[in-house]
Every structure is written in structure tokens, then in C-alpha cells.
Structure 1
């Protein structure tokens, strides 16, 4: 799949909550489900053999919520996608804590191949922090589904959760810079 096509898929998935909100308002359910199924299948089939397991799991989760909505004949299944994404990310980060290298350490080694022992310890702490983040964020996403208010669901999952994630990333980057300057 071309980089442009991959970018389009990422944009669609990033805008998922807003797209669902407006899609439910202005499109037919079958149109939304067909579009999302095409996105999910494209991610699985054309993502390439080297795509991370997380990417494929998210695509399967998308196909699953589309299937649930199709079987139920309503859009309620689609609201569970952010919950499943957070559960998948929590599970992947948590699993990586049992491995010799955590996900965060693998990412850090892309820019710093010779990571010192204190850097490895730091990446383990950051991995634990992301686990906590995904657990809390997923719980809040679940609360918006159970609340049943589409505007609240869209606001949290389409804006607030992204602001929180950006804040987490930015805060970690500032902390990392501070830790590196002290070393």
C-alpha cells in the first residue's frame, strides 16, 4: 500500500469519533459500515507483512465493531472501538513488560541504539505509565459508551482523549529531556 493510502487510512481512523458522529447524523448506517469495513480490510490485507501486531489487532477490532453493528442493525457497536483500541494498547504495553525489551525501549533504541542501563530502567517506567494511561483512558471511553450520550462520546473520544494523549507524550518528552540533561 502506498504511503499516501496509509496516511489516508490513519487520518480516517484518527477522525473516527467525529466521522461516526456525523455519519450517524447524515449517512445511512450501511454506508458507514461499508466504509469502515473497507478501511479495516485494507489495514489487514494491504498493511504489509512487516506491520506491527497492534495495527492488525486494531483493524480486527474495527471489523468486529462493524460486524456487531451490522448484526444489531444499529450504530451502538461502533462506539466500542475506542474502548477496544485502549484495551489492545494496554495489553501490548503490559505484555512488553514481560519481555527483555519493552515497546518504549524498542522505540528509544531507534534513535539511541546503545541505550545505557539507566535508560532501560527509564523506558520500563515509561511503559508502566503508558499502561496506566491506556487503562484510565479506556475506562473513560467505556464510561462514555455506557453513558449513552453521543455528544459526550464524540467530545471525549474525538478530542479530550487526544489532548490527554498529547499531554502525556509532551510531558514524557520534557521529563526525558530533563533526565538526559542531568546525566
Structure 2
């Protein structure tokens, strides 16, 4: 059940900008807010961590605003909220440790060499920068861009940028490993 909920949250989150865009002009925003309520509920049921309860509460608040105001803007602010929450998680891990990237690395390599720890910290910092950049663009597109531009950025380009960052980090990691293995 927990795995199905995780998959549902991921699928709805990935498709969210497209689903909202397709609903605009066909349904009143108050009806589209049901999608955001579902995301908030699924996210809240899937965690015990306060930051994710906060994310669920934020999504719920945006859904309530979309319902009460019957406006799409609160629905369009969800990607910015997600980036803000991810920034809090990653930056918080830098402060209170271990960094998120180190935790993920230890899932694959429990005996992570000490030389890799500073690298994981740096990658976590890079992701923090990405969430600031991406969240800012998500906010700007929600506030000032057309619905189509909002959907294209938040439903496609943001994922492309994330993929480029993943791929770039993987390439850098291979070089760093080679240097530490042979050097």
C-alpha cells in the first residue's frame, strides 16, 4: 500500500502541470483543486516527517485558496511550493546532517569512503542552488507567464534541467571516483 501511494504521488506530481493546464478552460479552478487536495492527502498519509506534513499542509492551503477564490493561480503555485520544500530538506540536511546526497550514496555504498563525504556535501549544495533557481522560475511563470509557458516550464523544461543536473553530476562523480581510485 505504501509503495502504491508513493508511485501515485510521484505520477500525479510529474503530470501535475499538464493536468492543471488541460483542466484550465474546461473546469473551474475549484474543481481542479481536487487534484491538489488528493496530492496533499496522499503526501500526508505517506510520512511521519514534519517537513512533509508541512508540504501537505501547503498543498492543502493552495487547494483551499483555489476552491474559495475559484482562481488558477494557487494551483500554479504548487511547483514553487515543491521546490521550496525540497530546498528546506536539502539545506536542512546540510545544517543538521548528514547531507541528503550522502544518505542516498550510503544506500548504494554503506561503507562510503571518507573522501566521498565532502563531495556529497558539495552535491547537496548544488541541489540547493538548483531548487532556488527552479523554484524562482516556477514562481515567476506562475505569476507572470501565460498558462502555456507555465505548463511548458514546469511540466517539461524543469524536468529536462533536473535530468541534465543528474547526468552532469553522474559524469563528475565518475571522474572523482577515478581520481580517488587511481590517485
Matched, 1:18 2:18: yes
Question: Structure 2, unaligned stretches of length 5 or more?
Answer: none
Q: Tell me how far 1:54 sits from its aligned partner.
A: 5.0
**SS state of the match for residue 178, structure 1?**
helix
Q: What's the C-alpha RMSD, in Å, of the aligned pairs?
A: 1.7
Note if contact 1:54-1:89 (Cα within 8 Å) is conserved in structure 2: no
**SS state of the match for residue 166, structure 1?**
helix
Aligned residue for 2:129?
Answer: 132
Pick from 54, 70, 93: which aligns with 2:67? 70
Aligned residue for 1:90?
Answer: 87
Aligned residue for 1:143?
Answer: 140
Q: How many residues align?
A: 180
Give me the whole-angstrom Cα distance separating, in 1, the residues matched to 2:5 and 2:80: 25
TM-score, length basis structure 2 = 0.90
Note if contact 1:61-1:85 (Cα within 8 Å) is conserved in structure 2: no
**SS state of the match for residue 9, structure 2?**
helix
1:22-54 Cα deviation digits (max 9, x unpaired): 011323333312232133213212x154xx555
Give me the whole-angstrom Cα distance separating, in 2, the residues matched to 1:123 and 1:161: 23
Aligned residue for 1:61?
Answer: 58
Matched, 1:101 2:98: yes
TM-score, length basis structure 1 = 0.90
Aligned residue for 1:31?
Answer: 31
When residues 174 and 155 of structure 1 are mapped into structure 2, their CA distance, relative to the original with a 3 A threshold, is: same
Aligned residue for 1:120?
Answer: 117
**SS state of the match for residue 96, structure 2?**
coil
Give me the whole-angstrom Cα distance separating, in 1, the residues matched to 2:23 and 2:104: 36
Aligned residue for 1:159?
Answer: 156
Give me the whole-angstrom Cα distance separating, in 1, the residues matched to 2:72 and 2:20: 9
Give me the whole-angstrom Cα distance separating, in 1, the residues matched to 2:43 and 2:123: 28
Per mean C-alpha deviation after superposition, the further-off stretch among 158-167 and 70-79 is: 70-79
**SS state of the match for residue 106, structure 2?**
helix
Give me the whole-angstrom Cα distance separating, in 1, the residues matched to 2:42 and 2:162: 26
Query: Runs of at least 4 residues of structure 1 off by over 6 A?
Result: none
